[in-house]
Structures are given as structure tokens and as C-alpha cells.
């Protein structure tokens, strides 16, 4: 008996708060040049009632899942034995395909953790009525580990544990009168 094959999934978050999943069916290696990829609905849509601002994936231990290092390459496109940089092989661990992962979905008014592949709700954190989140990011912070950082319109920076979403700290970050400029400031996964 073999474990079912898990397929890549594209997660789409909308401004209206809809969360959709699209499963991508990729044919086995030897058939990729003959059979096209197929995309289909990956489950029931979820609705968070406010715009989705961030979607992140965590592995079964709560660590951020990094994207594959590279994409599959087409042997028919090789020229003089060289492979283009963006056409290298994907390196995937078979255990990664069997694990139960988490999906972290941050919307302006709530944060939702889904258990994958079942897509059942694992944890939820709602925002107070008089505020909403401008930005959110999954970060690794020294001393706290992996957490979710959220900047609210009221000028507070909130941190939550992952995947449980327990509040860690809520700090004043900026003057609420300056919230318009906070929307345009870039943020990275390197805590900058």
C-alpha cells in the first residue's frame, strides 16, 4: 500500500476575503512533454470577511516552508550540455510530501491557521473591532522562534506564536496619524 501522492497547490487570497485553492496535477517525469498539466479546484473556499494580506506555509513542526530551489527542466531544450539557471531540477524530500502542514492566512480582521491537507481550521485570532492589520509576516525572531508579526492601523506591532496563534506581545510601533505611509513600507522575511 502506498501513500497518496500530494500535488502542488496554488492558494489565492482575494480582496473580498475569499481563500481559494487550486490543485496542480503534474504528470510523472517521463510524460511531462506529452501530457499537459491540469489545474482544478482543491477544496471548498473559505471566507475571512476582510481582505487577505498574507498567505504563508508552515511544515508539520511549525517552521516556514521555503519554495523549491528551482523548477523542472525540459531535456529537449538543453543546448551544448548547459542548463539555463531557471531550469534546474527541483529538489524535494519525499517526507515533505507526506507531512501534515499548516497554512497561515492573514486578513485585515483575522488570522486563520488551516491544517493541511484536510484544510480544517486549526487556530483563529480575531482583531479588535476598532482596528485592522495593515501588514503581516511570518518571522523567525531570536528568543521567540517562529511567529507572526502584524502591524495594525492603530500603530501597534503584535506578535503571535505559530501555529497556535497565542499572543506574545503588543507594542506601540508608530503614530496612528502616520498609518498611510506604513502601507507603502516594504518588509521582508529577514525581519527588515
Q: Which residues of the chain have pLDDT under 50?
A: 1-4, 69-70, 85-98, 190-192
Please name the helix (run of DSSP H) or strand (run of DSSP E) that holds residue 182, with its range, or none: helix 179-182
Per-residue pLDDT tens over the stretch 4-40: 456 788 889 999 999 998 888 888 878 878 888 888 8
Q: How far apart are the C-alpha atoms of 133 and 107, rounded to whole Å? A: 7
Within 13 Å of residue 57, how many CA atoms lie on the same side as its CB? Answer: 17
Question: pTM for the whole thing?
Answer: 0.73
Amino acid at each position: 500500500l502506498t501513500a497518496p501522492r500530494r500535488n502542488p497547490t496554488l492558494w489565492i487570497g482575494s480582496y473580498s476575503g475569499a481563500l481559494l485553492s487550486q490543485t496542480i496535477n503534474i504528470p510523472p517525469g517521463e510524460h511531462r512533454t506529452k501530457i499537459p498539466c491540469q489545474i482544478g479546484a482543491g477544496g471548498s473556499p473559505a471566507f475571512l470577511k476582510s481582505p487577505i494580506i498574507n498567505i504563508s506555509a508552515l511544515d508539520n513542526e511549525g517552521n516556514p516552508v521555503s519554495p523549491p530551489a528551482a523548477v523542472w527542466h525540459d531535456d529537449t531544450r538543453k543546448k551544448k550540455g548547459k542548463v539555463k539557471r531557471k531550469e534546474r531540477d527541483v529538489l524535494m524530500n519525499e517526507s515533505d510530501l507526506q507531512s501534515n502542514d499548516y497554512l497561515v492566512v492573514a486578513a485585515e480582521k483575522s488570522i486563520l491557521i488551516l491544517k493541511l491537507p484536510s484544510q480544517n481550521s486549526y487556530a483563529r485570532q480575531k482583531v479588535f473591532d476598532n482596528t485592522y492589520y495593515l501588514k503581516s509576516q511570518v518571522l523567525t525572531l531570536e528568543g521567540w522562534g517562529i511567529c507572526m508579526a502584524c502591524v495594525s492601523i492603530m500603530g501597534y506591532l503584535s506578535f503571535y506564536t505559530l501555529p497556535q496563534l497565542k499572543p506574545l506581545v503588543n507594542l506601540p510601533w508608530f503614530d496612528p496619524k502616520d498609518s498611510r505611509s506604513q502601507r507603502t513600507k516594504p518588509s521582508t522575511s529577514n525581519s527588515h
